[in-house]
Structure 1
Amino acid sequence: MRNLKLTLAYDGTDFKGWQVQPDAATIQTMLATAIGRITGEKVLPQGSGRTDAGVHALAQVASFTTKSLIPAANLVIALNDTLPPSIRILGVREVPTDFHARKSARAKTYRYRMYRNNICPPFLARYVWHYPYPLNEDDMCTAAPLIEGEHDFTSFAAVDPERGLGDQGSNVRRVFSSMWRRDGDELIYEVRGNGFLHHMVRNLVGTFLLVGKG
């Protein structure tokens, strides 16, 4: 039995997040279906994190076990031929049997992009939040590092009885870094931590927005 690690990127606009859901298109469902067609096996790849509906990924990590002997390089080609263009496999490699995409993850990074100019280019509309209104960006930059460290982030999580506590068995998370930065017409929030609760990042952004509004 081989244990394979996949690195993938995707445009999450048309998907209901990562996790399998009844009668809904999700990244995990699409990936499991593609792997099944290629290997003839029924597998459920595990992701390093469960991205929400509409969230994109530049380097999501997933893992699954298989009896298939298809070389990793060939599997990249086969998966990309099977998956829709909005999901791309960037790499596949064999890893030790104790590797698990979620349990072995050391850190995760999220970026939230806010477009600040009056007119948002149409080709950016799927990837940024257009917010051209006045904000005190200096205050937002000052506030961002205040959440660094280990805290109970229950107040920033969506109320979701089906998920309950986070994957780690509690709502305590450690944030390694939290910052806002300017990149041309974009104001970008970047946060890195050992894990994030359901809707935690977007709720943090909303809170910092209130700081910016004064």
Structure 2
Amino acid sequence: MFNYCLLLSFLGSNFHGWQIQPNLRTVQGVLEDALSLVFKEELRVIGCCRTDAGVHAKEYIANFKASRCLPLPNLLKALNSILPEDMGVKKVWLESLDFSSRYSVKGKLYIYRVFPSHIRDPFIEPFLWRIPYSLNVDAMSRASELFLGTHDFSAFAKLDEEEKNPFVDIEECSVEKKDGIIEIRIKAKRFLRYMVRRIAGCLIYLGMGKLNTDDVREFLSGRRCPYTAKAKGLTLERVFL
């Protein structure tokens, strides 16, 4: 048995997230269909995390086990010849059989991009949330520091049966403006469902002046955060092994 690992990249605009869902186009579903053509058998792919519908990934790690040994360059070429244009394989390698992309990765970096402008640029529009409001970047940056460390993020997430632990250790949370686009960077080993988008939404509404740091502290103390940033502005930027 061989444990293959893939470094993927995909545009989330036309996907209903990572996880297979009946009658919906998902990253996992499209990838497993492609692998079944290459290996001539049905294979189950494990992903490093779930992504919401519309969320993008520059780096995404997945693994699957198969009994056949295929040359890695041939596998990469075969997959990229089958996969649609909004998805691709950057790298293929082998790991030990106990490696799981879901549990073995050491961290994930998400970047949320928001563009406070009336200008519409179709070349960047699919990858950010454009809002017609000015944002106080300094206030957002100061507030982002409140998320650092270990907190109960129940108020920022939708917990399910698979994920019962609401405590997450945030290693990085920062806000920076680059060429007019505001980037919210959040790094941790694991995240809860909707957590990153709700942290981003919280900081964006704070930047609008509709929230203050006391509100953020109350959210971290258990008051429900009602603000969820649009999915298209979020990109899984990097996965750390």
TM-score by length of 2: 0.84
Question: Any residues of structure 2 matched to 1:1-214 within 5 Å, and which?
Answer: 1-158=1-158, 163-164=160-161, 166=163, 169-214=164-209
In structure 2, runs of 5+ residues without a counterpart are 210-241
Using CA pairs below 8 Å that are at least 6 residues apart, which structure has the higher relative contact order? 2
SS at match of 1:49: coil
The CA RMSD measured in Å over matched residues stands at 1.2
- Does the Cα contact within 8 Å between 1:18 and 1:50 map onto a contact in 2? yes
SS at match of 2:155: helix
CA distance in 2: counterparts of 1:145 and 1:77, whole angstroms:
43
How many angstroms does 1:68 deviate by?
A: 1.7
Indicate the percent of aligned positions where both proteins have the same amino acid.
33
Q: State the AA in 1 paired with 2:61.
A: V
Q: State the AA in 1 paired with 2:161.
A: G
Q: Deviations over 1:84-115 (max 9, x none)?
A: 01010001001111110011011011111111
- Does the Cα contact within 8 Å between 1:165 and 1:171 map onto a contact in 2? no
More helix by share: 2
CA distance in 2: counterparts of 1:70 and 1:133, whole angstroms:
53
Q: State the AA in 2 paired with 1:139.
A: A
SS at match of 1:16: coil
CA distance in 2: counterparts of 1:148 and 1:72, whole angstroms:
40
- Does the Cα contact within 8 Å between 1:115 and 1:131 map onto a contact in 2? yes
SS at match of 1:21: coil
Q: Which moved more, 1:23-32 or 1:203-212?
A: 203-212
How many angstroms does 1:210 deviate by?
A: 2.4
Q: Deviations over 1:5-50 (max 9, x none)?
A: 1000000100100000011000000011100110012111101111
SS at match of 1:102: helix
CA distance in 2: counterparts of 1:85 and 1:151, whole angstroms:
39
Q: State the AA in 1 paired with 2:29.
A: T
In structure 1, runs of 5+ residues without a counterpart are none
